[in-house]
Structure 1
Amino acid sequence: MVNKKLVITQNLSETLSKQISNVIPDWELIIGRDKEIWHQHILDADVIAGWKKDMKDLITESSNKLQWIQTWSAGVNSLPLRQLEEKKIQLTSANGVHSYPISETIYALMLALTRKIHTYVKNQQSKTWHHSNMKLEMHEKTIGIIGVGAIGKETAKIAKAFGMHVLGVRHSGHPTEYVDEMYTPDQLDQLLPKCDYVVVTLPLTNETKHMITSKQFSLMKPSSYFINIGRGEIVIESDLINALKTHQIAGAGLDVFTTEPLPKDNPLWEMDNVIVTPHTSGSTEFYDKRVVEEIFIPNLKQYIEGQPLSINVVDYKKGY
């Protein structure tokens, strides 16, 4: 019997490694973030957990026996999806592990902008005691959540603690708990004028790329705040910068950008009405544990039993 091989390109704790090993005791297990650990094993791996851009040329070679890739990220837009689909490689994402940390970041940004925390932090650095015209409240305002998946649902749930009116956008348009009104993507322009906060939680696909342009910013309230924790290319960044400069919107909290790291000459760094975070909204102490225990191991058990994978299976045609 030929041994099967699992390559995990992450540094896992002994506890998590043992949990995986217990499921597949007869498999060869390669675990480690360092490229030197996993690189030579890619061509004969049956399963890979953790996508690395250096794998692209290797996994598209006809000689490999790869059957399944589990990403360590929710987004899969950086993977060669067309080639993977052609080779009939199953793909599962880490979608869902981020709902707690990202929703916390969303509200950290919303509260900071509303209650001028970002301004007061700057004032503290210069020992400046100034009111800074702080007057806004977040309670009972309207939030528009563009992308009501796991993150969007958790964001909507928290919004209800603030007594907010929740509008949502999802592809199906189907209603869900905590969302008062649901819209489809083609109805986005109807939603935007109603919102005090617009939160983007979408993945990057052909359909969502440049979904937010100068037209959408012109429809938003001058008092509204824009939060993007999805992907930078969902927005035309130059249009966002112009909307901020001309006060079409009040401010923005941004965790994702068209180019990352954000170039030092990008004007977003210098804007007083913008908070920049370095694509860290999904970071959490429980990240690996959730990917392994909630997604990978349940799917792995199905895989070795010859059953279809059921958690976070990527639809190649949709791109997520």
Structure 2
Amino acid sequence: MGKRLLLVTHNIGEEYLHQLNEILPEWKVVAGKEEELWTAHAKNAEVIVGWKKELQKHVLHNESKLRWIQSWSAGVNSMPLNALDEKGVLLTSANGVHAYPISETIFAMMLGLTRKIHTYVRQQQTKEWHHAHMNMEIHEKTIGIIGVGEIGQETAKIAKAFRMNVLGVRHSGVSHEYVDKMYTPRELKEVLPQCDYIVITVPLTQETNKLIGKNEFILMKDSAFLINIGRGEVIDEEALIHALNNKEIAGAGLDVFENEPLDKNSPLWTMENVIVTPHTSGSTQHYTKRVIENIFLPNLKKYINENNELINLVNYKKGY
């Protein structure tokens, strides 16, 4: 019988490889970002760290030894969840590693739109000295956070530094120390009219697909700003463009889109009240460290001791 095999689809450095070999002395550990490496070892892998779509044909057959996948991202909606569920494969996400960088991006967008930094950057390109009617501030405004997980909680915490009124929406409805009032998703329409800023942090599921559409934009203040760092499909993009063009909302900060890369013909690129970033809100120099040290290594120690109470274990029925 061959050695049990751990496949890591990223370059993680010698230090982490050494740690893995110490934890798994009887295993074979293979790591690297080259596709040839994955395809050569995927069929024998019991554990895979970092899902790649090219792996699917190698690990979803009857002879596959795959038992656990540690996703490199928080979102798992692009993975073959039904097939993995049927095979009984454990799936853990990287939920939590993005809380700092994404919450920073959220406030960069909120502050940029409020203090018209995006407008001034454009004016700088043409050497135009113009006030641009800037008169808004973020302090003591109301923020609605749709999805109060790790990212939402960190966003709520920062919002309190600006003395903001924080409203939250989460499935459980359970309160949080930095959220002034918590709602459930079925109460969303009660939340939207109150908000000066609406921040979308939910994952993409059947329930959240097109969560924000024409009717929701009508409920929002015409002075409200919408920030989406969750998934593009959570917002009806056509309805968003309509709402922006018709001044149903004041502006938007968007890191995610229905189709990526964002089509060059999309009007979102050139709207003066929109900030576009290329799905980079979670990027950070500490990403590998947080995935490996905070999630994967603790989970690995549980896994080899046959403890399946893993950090960020995905519920296939919920989709996250």
Indicate the TM-score class for this superposition, using the shorter chain for normalisation.
over 0.9
The 8 Å contact of residues 38 and 55 in structure 2, kept in 1 or not, is answered as no
2:169 is aligned with 1:169: yes
Q: Which amino acid aligns with 1:171?
A: H
Instruction: State how far apart, in whole Å, the 1-side matches of 2:61 and 2:37 are.
Output: 20
Q: Which amino acid aligns with 1:315?
A: N
Deviation digits for residues 119-142 of structure 1, max 9, x if unmatched?
111111111111000000000000
2:148 is aligned with 1:148: yes
* Matched residue SS, 1:122: helix
Deviation digits for residues 50-98 of structure 1, max 9, x if unmatched?
0001112222111111000000000000011001000000000000000
* Matched residue SS, 2:132: coil
* Matched residue SS, 1:253: strand
Q: Which residue of the partner structure matches residue 46 of structure 1?
A: 46
Where do 1:137-286 residues align within 5 Å? 137-286=137-286
Cα RMSD after superposing both structures: 0.8
The 8 Å contact of residues 143 and 167 in structure 2, kept in 1 or not, is answered as yes
* Matched residue SS, 1:46: strand
Q: Which amino acid aligns with 2:125?
A: Q
Give unpaired runs (5+ residues) of structure 1: none
Instruction: State how far apart, in whole Å, the 1-side matches of 2:210 and 2:15 are.
Output: 42
Instruction: State how far apart, in whole Å, the 2-side matches of 1:176 and 1:21 are.
Output: 40
Give the C-alpha shift of residue 309 in structure 1.
3.5
Give unpaired runs (5+ residues) of structure 2: none
Where do 1:59-208 residues align within 5 Å? 59-208=59-208
Give the C-alpha shift of residue 263 in structure 1.
0.6
* Matched residue SS, 1:282: coil
Q: Which amino acid aligns with 2:316?
A: Y
2:5 is aligned with 1:5: yes
* Matched residue SS, 1:30: strand
Give the C-alpha shift of residue 207 in structure 1.
0.6
Tell me the matched-pair count. Answer: 320
Instruction: State how far apart, in whole Å, the 2-side matches of 1:309 and 1:8 are.
Output: 21
2:318 is aligned with 1:314: no
* Matched residue SS, 1:120: helix
Q: Which amino acid aligns with 1:24?
A: L
Instruction: State how far apart, in whole Å, the 2-side matches of 1:176 and 1:134 are.
Output: 34
Give the C-alpha shift of residue 25 in structure 1.
2.0
Give the C-alpha shift of residue 40 in structure 1.
1.2
Percent identity between the two aligned chains: 60
The 8 Å contact of residues 232 and 259 in structure 2, kept in 1 or not, is answered as yes
* Matched residue SS, 1:279: coil
Q: Which amino acid aligns with 2:166?
A: V
Q: Which residue of the partner structure matches residue 299 of structure 1?
A: 299
Q: Which amino acid aligns with 2:290?
A: R
Please give the TM-score of this superposition, normalised by the length of structure 2.
Answer: 0.99
Give the C-alpha shift of residue 17 in structure 1.
2.0
Deviation digits for residues 204-261 of structure 1, max 9, x if unmatched?
0011001100100000000000000000000110000000000000000000000000
The 8 Å contact of residues 98 and 151 in structure 2, kept in 1 or not, is answered as yes
Q: Which amino acid aligns with 1:5?
A: L
